[in-house]
Chain A
């Protein structure tokens, strides 16, 4: 895993850091931190912060997370939308094809409908697994590193 912020983050890493993050301490930002105005573009963020985000956006680690996310999510979204629209158009425009029997009582329409359910469950599983295995760790490292750089504080 490529990560150009890895070095300084070593001691902060935990086995299941997201779980830990829910517990308390520094990661329940609502309950602490100095009072500050809400997010805004009108009030310019301090330059240091903007620079930090621009730099992270340009970092190899972030580009890797982004491309892993997009390479999975975009084609899969396109695929399931096309598959659903095909199903919809077939059901409305070609009911005779859909009524064709395939096995026993099951016709094409019923098989296609159940296949929509099956593909939804399968894609859900695949996406969750991909995110867990391929993204969560790098994303968390980046989050830590940004928190360190912006002063371990609530960023907005």
Chain B
């Protein structure tokens, strides 16, 4: 399975041999972790929750690892290097979102569920329809996010190889990343995935701290001077330090950004791979402390990306960053090279290689986390529901628990392969497309489909099964439809289908419309429901959510 290293080496050529070596070391270490974790018995609690005995510190690092993608590391710094302040708006939304996770979601979800957030709904509602709805929405979010990450990995290879942007190298990267993530998940389950996240977070934070210190040292610790130099070298002057360069202009453009901002801040609390992390710790209190650690790490990380972004503008220059990659993804590698002494020097080559390897480690860990949570949704929500229905139809006696657990884990391992195959196929199809919008779309779907159902279920006494099902589909379907009829699909030269034009919805991100629709549908479904909500199960959910009584 050690495919990543050689595949990349084949494409890399001499200059970035070091990056390949570093990345191979990381892949080897992660494979060793997987082998170690895979020796354990395969119960569901082991496979989906890593045994549930991680410490808050460990889980905090893993949460941060699941959340900080290469899009944050390279993408946000790159946007700051290109557009100055407007890039920073992203990082604020990505961070503030965690307050919602901390205050309304983490502890309560931990107390009420076992492996996936659908457990929280199923505890109160008729199990079959809500599990199918929540499982479908979770898998949709995961696939969108996975494709965005894997296409990003492919283009990152091209970018880091400096111009030798061969199609074969990208294709093999996508396949290699996909194969590795499937291997981690199906053999190592949650335990391996968590340790891979932890290693990745340490590497990512370490690399970011080192670069930040070097940038600040170059400006003698004077942040004002850094900003001034960045503004001067950006070609935009002081406008670089204020909003408007990217999201100014037309009102559609501005509304689009508000829509994206809303999706970012509300979506995090509905991301299935984040929610299932809370089941790896023993209590709600540990879940809370994990989130506190995660917020500390993520906040520090985004503060540092601001320094790196403005640093890239100041040291490398916005023009050069743009010339290297139009999306700005090379800003941090170029900055690292410049800080190390420039192109061709030993220091520059080493730092460039380190940044490249850290970026790959980041992508690999993130996709593994998403694959795991979607395999949990398939096995624990969709398959188990189907299985029970079939057993009921055939009038079979319910399976013995150990046996049904083993079967669930087997299905999850297979589901990881299936999800991986779908993600690889879609990523290969989309690899020449501009899929940056997919991350925003994944957040928008999470915010419109998962979050309303989750919040209503935790806090609304009268919420019913119909309300839950309506709120999930009422957020999911509009979000996807609006994107189909948006400018990212048709009507623009850089759209997915550039030849035709059937766009009727002006915004790229559907969040502004689909999030309220999700909440509205949940309310409507509840008030039109014929069956009243069950007082006893709500009492149980409420008491359990706040006390942890009976928590798994």
Flag the segment in B8-16, B195-203, B490-498, B536-544 that touches A: B536-544
Distance, CA A83 to CA B550, complexed state (A): 37
Contact pattern, A 7-39, Cβ under 8 Å of B = 1, otherwise 0: 000000000001001100001111000011111
- Indicate if the CB atoms of B550 and A92 lie closer than 8 Å: no
Distance, CA A18 to CA B223, complexed state (A): 43
CB contact list, A15-71 vs B, under 8 A: 18, 21-22, 27-30, 35-42, 45, 49-50, 53-54, 56-57, 62, 65-66, 69
Distance, CA A89 to CA B296, complexed state (A): 26
- Indicate if the CB atoms of B549 and A143 lie closer than 8 Å: yes
16 A-B interface contacts by CB (under 8 A): A27-B282, A30-B43, A35-B402, A53-B539, A53-B544, A62-B543, A81-B265, A84-B92, A92-B247, A92-B254, A95-B242, A105-B241, A116-B95, A139-B548, A147-B549, A147-B550
Q: Does B126 contact A (CB under 8 A)?
A: yes
- Indicate if the CB atoms of A91 and B552 lie closer than 8 Å: no
Distance, CA A131 to CA B544, complexed state (A): 16
- Indicate if the CB atoms of A107 and B241 lie closer than 8 Å: yes
List residues of chain A with CB within 8 A of the CB of B320. Answer: none
- Which of A30, A84, A125 meets B52, CB within 8 Å? A30
- Indicate if the CB atoms of A65 and B547 lie closer than 8 Å: yes
B307 to chain A, nearest CB (A): 12
- Indicate if the CB atoms of A89 and B295 lie closer than 8 Å: no
List residues of chain A with CB within 8 A of the CB of B114. Answer: 38-39
Flag the segment in B30-38, B97-105, B355-363 that touches A: B97-105
- Indicate if the CB atoms of B285 and A109 lie closer than 8 Å: no
Q: Does B163 contact A (CB under 8 A)?
A: no
A63 to chain B, nearest CB (A): 10
User: Which of A28, A127, A139 has most B Cβ within 10 Å?
Assistant: A139
Q: Does B42 contact A (CB under 8 A)?
A: no
Which 7 A-B pairs rank lowest in CB-CB distance, beginning with the nearest? A155-B550, A99-B242, A95-B244, A105-B224, A50-B536, A146-B549, A57-B539
List residues of chain B with CB within 8 A of the CB of A77. Answer: 99-100, 103-104
- Indicate if the CB atoms of B247 and A30 lie closer than 8 Å: no
List residues of chain A with CB within 8 A of the CB of B536. Answer: 45, 50, 53-54
- Indicate if the CB atoms of B227 and A117 lie closer than 8 Å: no
Q: Does A93 contact B (CB under 8 A)?
A: yes
| A138 (CB) vs chain B CBs: closest residue | B547
Distance, CA A101 to CA B261, complexed state (A): 25
Distance, CA A27 to CA B284, complexed state (A): 13
Distance, CA A27 to CA B551, complexed state (A): 9
CB contact list, A88-143 vs B, under 8 A: 88-89, 91-93, 95, 98-99, 104-107, 109-110, 113, 116-117, 120-121, 123-125, 127-128, 131-132, 135-136, 139-140, 142-143
| B549 (CB) vs chain A CBs: closest residue | A146
Q: Does B122 contact A (CB under 8 A)?
A: yes
Distance, CA A141 to CA B372, complexed state (A): 35
List residues of chain A with CB within 8 A of the CB of B170. Answer: none
| A136 (CB) vs chain B CBs: closest residue | B285
Other A-B contacts than A95-B242, A98-B85, 11 sampled, CB-CB below 8 A, are A40-B122, A45-B540, A73-B103, A76-B103, A81-B100, A85-B261, A89-B258, A95-B243, A128-B288, A150-B550, A156-B552
- Indicate if the CB atoms of A87 and B92 lie closer than 8 Å: yes
CB contact list, B199-221 vs A, under 8 A: none
- Indicate if the CB atoms of B283 and A18 lie closer than 8 Å: yes
- Which of B102, B122, B247, B547 meets A143, CB within 8 Å? B547
B244 to chain A, nearest CB (A): 4
Query: Total contacts A to B, CB within 8 angstroms?
Result: 212
Contact pattern, B 61-78, Cβ under 8 Å of A = 1, otherwise 0: 000000000000000000
- Indicate if the CB atoms of B95 and A30 lie closer than 8 Å: no
List residues of chain A with CB within 8 A of the CB of B473. Answer: none
Q: How big is the A interface, by class?
A: 35 or more
- Indicate if the CB atoms of A117 and B126 lie closer than 8 Å: no
- Indicate if the CB atoms of A117 and B547 lie closer than 8 Å: no
Distance, CA A77 to CA B501, complexed state (A): 41
- Indicate if the CB atoms of A39 and B542 lie closer than 8 Å: no
Contact pattern, B 261-278, Cβ under 8 Å of A = 1, otherwise 0: 110010000000000000
- Indicate if the CB atoms of A56 and B285 lie closer than 8 Å: no
- Which of A49, A91, A98, A124 meets B99, CB within 8 Å? A124
- Indicate if the CB atoms of A109 and B243 lie closer than 8 Å: yes
- Indicate if the CB atoms of A131 and B288 lie closer than 8 Å: yes
A83 to chain B, nearest CB (A): 8
- Which of B52, B295, B537 meets A120, CB within 8 Å? B295
Distance, CA A117 to CA B126, complexed state (A): 41
| B112 (CB) vs chain A CBs: closest residue | A39
Distance, CA A155 to CA B100, complexed state (A): 28
- Indicate if the CB atoms of A98 and B542 lie closer than 8 Å: no
Q: Does B350 contact A (CB under 8 A)?
A: no
- Indicate if the CB atoms of B122 and A124 lie closer than 8 Å: no
List residues of chain A with CB within 8 A of the CB of B396. Answer: none
| B384 (CB) vs chain A CBs: closest residue | A38
- Indicate if the CB atoms of A113 and B88 lie closer than 8 Å: yes
List residues of chain B with CB within 8 A of the CB of A66. Answer: 542, 546
| A87 (CB) vs chain B CBs: closest residue | B92
- Indicate if the CB atoms of A54 and B535 lie closer than 8 Å: yes
Distance, CA A136 to CA B548, complexed state (A): 10
List residues of chain B with CB within 8 A of the CB of A89. Answer: 258
Distance, CA A99 to CA B425, complexed state (A): 45
A27 to chain B, nearest CB (A): 7
- Indicate if the CB atoms of A123 and B99 lie closer than 8 Å: yes
- Indicate if the CB atoms of B243 and A124 lie closer than 8 Å: no
B382 to chain A, nearest CB (A): 15
- Indicate if the CB atoms of A21 and B283 lie closer than 8 Å: yes
A9 to chain B, nearest CB (A): 13
